[in-house]
Each structure stands twice: as C-alpha cells, then as structure tokens.
C-alpha cells in the first residue's frame, strides 16, 4: 500500500481488523438527503461525492435510492469492502483510493458532497487546502454537509497533545480506537475553515455515558451545511 504523510495509518489497522465496517447509513444523513432532494424524481442526475467513505454504508444507501455515487477513501481495505458490497448487490458506484488532498484531481463537480466524520482526522493546515478543493468541486446549487468533531466530543479526553489547539494527538501512542490524530472545532475555527461557504451550523450533542467495559459513548459534533457563497 502506498504511503501518504497526511493519512493516519492507524485507520488501516482498524479496517483490517474488521472494525468500523459499518453496515447501515447514518440516520441524520438519511433524513437530510430525503428532505434536500425530495422533489427530484430522477436521482441518477444527482452526483454525490462521499469523502472518507469507509465501508461505503452511506454511499450504499444513496446508491439504492438511485444517486450517482463517487466515493473516496485512502484505506485499500475499506475501498475493497465497499466495492464488493456494491458488486454483490448489483449497485453502481465509482470508488477511488485517494487521500483528501487529492480531491482536487477529481474531474467532475458534485451536487451533494458528504463528510461523515472523516475530515476531523486531518491536520488543521491540510483542512484549509481540502475545503478549498471541496468548494471548487461543488456545483453552483450543490450542498456540502460535514459532520465534524467539536470541543464537546467526549473522546477529546484521550487527545492531550497539540500545537495549535485544534489538531490533537493522544498521550498514549498505542491508541488504536479513535486514530492517532483528531481535529476538534469551536465556532471560531469553523468560521476560519469554512469561510468559503455560506453555511448553517448545528451542534449535535449527546451526553456521554459509560457502557460495558467502561467504553465511553456520546456525541459532540457540528453539523455544517454548506452552499457556495453568492456574493
């Protein structure tokens, strides 16, 4: 597998071990897609880009609804899993093993771009470049939705080392659950990163609780719904 400095190789191990191979789409994304495109009968005319598609669970749902799917992930394991699922269910989609800085190399523009908790794995300085590429790949009336960790996310307690107070690294170098790098945003950093877009910002917060084996479950993320600026 090719190496890339911006890719957290820990995710390769996560996917190889069979973790995070999600089967079903994220519920909020399902609701949003239905509302956003409710009036369009021929969904095949809507080009979708799924960034950091992982096992392809969200792409799978949209493909079954008839959308034109393109999906990228740097994990060869995840891409192959998604491709096989599509093949086994006779679904059509284009899957590419790419890192997020390579979004600029894609030839098409997209009506719907999805980041379901993928961009948070990137360093702050790279996010500025990546978001500029996303804005460029969005059609004039397209929409980009990002689910991005915020500073209220309960897993932030595992990330303590930082140089810029946005991108953090865990004290424990053996962390194999959440990845070895995570960016957590506040409203100020959202404004700095998403300035190219006309966006709506929502805080999705679920109070964390302990479950079996002291695994912490909860949610602290921003849902950022973006369109091209119209100035």
pTM assigned to the model = 0.91
Residue 165, SS3 per DSSP: coil
For the stretch 206-227, pLDDT in tens is 887 766 666 667 899 999 999 9
CATH number where 110 lies = 3.40.50.150
Residue 79, domain member (yes or no) = yes
Residue 141, SS3 per DSSP: strand
Residue 178, domain member (yes or no) = yes
Residue 186, SS3 per DSSP: coil
Cα–Cα nearest to 88, from 49, 60, 123: 60
Tokens representing 73 are: 């992930």
Residue 221's contacts (CB-CB under 8 Å, 6 or more residues apart) are: 117, 147, 148, 149, 150, 153, 203, 204
Tell which wins on pLDDT, 158 or 177: 158
Residue 16, domain member (yes or no) = yes
Residue 56's contacts (CB-CB under 8 Å, 6 or more residues apart) are: 50, 71, 78, 81, 82, 83, 85, 86, 93, 95
Residue 216, domain member (yes or no) = yes
Rounded Cα distance, 152 and 26, in Å: 20
Share of the chain above pLDDT 90, in %: 70
Tell which phi-psi region holds residue 90, choosing left (phi > 0), alpha (psi between -120 and 50) or beta.
Answer: left
Count of domains for the chain? 1
Domain that holds residue 61: 10-228
For the stretch 78-121, pLDDT in tens is 899 999 999 999 999 999 999 999 999 999 999 999 999 999 99
Residue 193, domain member (yes or no) = yes
Residue 31, domain member (yes or no) = yes
Residue 135, domain member (yes or no) = yes
What b/e string do you get for 164-188 counting C-beta neighbours within 10 Å, with b at 16 or more?
eebbbbbeeeebeebbbbbbbbeee
């Amino acid at each position: 597998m090719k190496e890339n400095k911006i890719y957290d190789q820990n995710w390769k191990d996560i996917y190889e071990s069979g973790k995070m191979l999600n089967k079903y789409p994220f519920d909020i994304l399902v609701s949003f897609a239905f509302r956003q495109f409710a009036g369009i009968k021929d969904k095949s005319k809507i080009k979708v880009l799924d960034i950091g598609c992982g096992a392809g669970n969200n792409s799978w749902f949209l493909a079954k609804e008839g959308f034109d799917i393109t999906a990228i992930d740097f994990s060869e394991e995840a891409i192959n899993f998604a491709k096989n699922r599509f093949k086994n269910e006779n679904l059509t989609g284009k899957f590419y093993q790419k890192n997020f800085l390579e979004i600029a190399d894609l030839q098409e523009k997209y009506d719907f771009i999805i980041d379901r908790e993928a961009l948070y794995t990137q360093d702050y300085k790279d996010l500025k470049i990546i978001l500029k590429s996303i804005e460029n790949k969005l059609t004039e009336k397209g929409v980009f939705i990002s689910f991005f960790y915020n500073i209220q996310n309960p897993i932030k307690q595992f990330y303590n080392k930082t140089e810029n107070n946005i991108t953090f690294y865990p004290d424990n170098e053996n962390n194999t659950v959440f990845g070895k790098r995570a960016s957590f945003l506040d409203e100020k950093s959202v404004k700095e990163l998403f300035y190219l877009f006309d966006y709506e910002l929502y805080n999705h917060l679920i109070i964390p609780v302990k479950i079996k084996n002291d695994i912490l479950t909860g949610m602290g993320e921003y849902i950022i719904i973006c369109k091209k600026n119209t100035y």
